[in-house]
Amino acid sequence: MPVFEYKCRACSHKFEALVRGTKVPSCPKCVSPDLDRLLSMPAVRSETTTALAMKAAKRRDKSQASDADRAQREYEAHHDD
């Protein structure tokens, strides 16, 4: 069963909908059936894209960890026991 991306012409809300047969979805925000079906990019998965995603995730995790460490040090420095 295909999942399609839509944009509502009435409220400009973008959403995905599972479409079965000829059933036409409606906007979950304003319930309008006046929709544009958007072109979806296929998900490409390869060793290269996986490696790039892992590298980006590690960078993000390292940045978040250093932010958390900094916040903890500031809390400890300014906390009255």
- Whole-Å CA distances, 24 to 19, 51, 62, 73: 7, 39, 45, 55
Query: What's residue 81's pLDDT?
Result: 58
Secondary element (H or E) of residue 52: helix 47-78
The string of pLDDT tens digits covering residues 28-69 is 999 999 999 998 777 777 888 889 989 999 999 988 888 889
Query: What's residue 1's pLDDT?
Result: 52
Query: What's residue 10's pLDDT?
Result: 94
The string of pLDDT tens digits covering residues 6-24 is 999 999 999 999 888 888 8
Query: What's residue 56's pLDDT?
Result: 93
Give strand ranges (E) for 9-78: 14-18, 35-38
